[in-house]
Amino acid sequence: MEQDSESSNFKVTSAEHDLKLLALLERHLGLPKSLLHRWVRTGQVRRNGKRCQPFERVAQGDLIRLPPFAFKLKGLDNKMPQLGPLPRLIGSHADLLCYCKPRGLPTHGGTGHLDSLAARLQQAFWAAPFIPVPVHRLDRDTSGLILVATTYRALRRTQEAWQNQLITKEYLCWVWGKWPYKEPRLLIDFVQKIGAEGHMKMQVIDSLTAKEARSFVTPMQICAKASLLLVQIGTGRTHQIRVQLAHAGYPIVGDHKYGAPTNLPLYLHATRLILNDGHEFCNFPEWDGDWRVPHLALPVPLYF
C-alpha cells in the first residue's frame, strides 16, 4: 500500500491487486481480524470513498481510508524479533522467487517455534507493498526448493497450477536397501491419515475414504545398503514420498516417523521444479560423507 503522508489514506498497489480487503488490512496493520472486521462493518474503512465489505477484492489504484488512530494501534513497526537470514535464493521468474529451504526450518510458524521461512520473509520485506509469501510448503525436516510469490496475482496463479498438478515436482532421497528396479517405476497407493490429533501419520490403507498417491521413482545410484532415488510426485498427499517408499520396504534414511529410529537427519530434498510455462529451477542437496550427491544429469520428467 502507498500511504498518503497527510492522512490515513492508502492506494492499493499492483502487487496487491485482487487481494481481499480484510486480508489487505490484516497484512499491513497486524491487528486482530475481529477488530478490522468491525471497522469495515461500521463504515470506518472506506474504499474509494464508499462503504465496503470485508471480503470484497480490491483493485490496483483503489483508495483505502482507515480510521486516523489505526497506525497508533498497529505498534508493530520494526519490532519483530530478529530471526535468521533468508535461505539462499536460487532464482526468480514471473513474480516468483525460489529459495532453497534448509532442513530444520519450518515453512510457516507454529506451536513452539517462531522462526520460519514465512516469518523471515516478513522481516526481510516488511516495507514492501506486498510481503512475499510461500506458495506451497515443505516439511520442516525436508530441504530444497520452495516458491515464494511477490504479488497476490502470482500467488493465486501458482497455487492454482500447483493444485492442478501443472508444476513438475522432483525430490532426491536416500533410502535404506538395494532398490530392485533399474528402470523408472510408478508407485500407486491409497493413503489416509490415521491416529489421534497431534500423533497422526499417513498409512497405505484399503478404504473408500483413502486418497490416491502416485509417484514415479527413478534410481540414480544403487548400492548394497542404500540407494539414491529421484522421485517425481503426481499427487500432493501429506508425507507422500515417505509413506510410499516405506510401504514398498525402502524407508528414507533418517525418517524416524516411517522408518526405524535413527540419529541421522532426513535425507529428502526437493531438487527440481518445472513451472507450467516451462521455466525450471534446480538445486542439488549439500549432503556430506557417504550421502554426498554429485551434480547429476537429471532425466527428462515423466508425465502421468
Catalytic residues: 139
Specify the residue for cell string 489416509.
192
Cα(98)–Cα(288) distance, integer angstroms: 23
Type and span of the H or E element at 214: strand 211-222
Specify the residue for cell string 533468508.
86
Pairing type for strands 201-204 and 168-176 reads unpaired
Return the half-sphere exposure (C-beta side, CA atoms, 13 A cut-off) of residue 13: 15
Helix (H, G, I), strand (E, B) or coil at 215: strand
Cα(153)–Cα(147) distance, integer angstroms: 14
In contact, 117 and 147? CB cutoff 8 Å? no
Cα(234)–Cα(113) distance, integer angstroms: 31
Cα(176)–Cα(251) distance, integer angstroms: 6
* Grid coordinates given for 149: 510469490
* Grid coordinates given for 30: 497486524
* Grid coordinates given for 134: 510461500
Cα(98)–Cα(181) distance, integer angstroms: 33
* DSSP letters spanning 34-57: HHHHHHHHTTSSEETTB---TTSB
Amino acid at 290: D
Cα(145)–Cα(154) distance, integer angstroms: 17
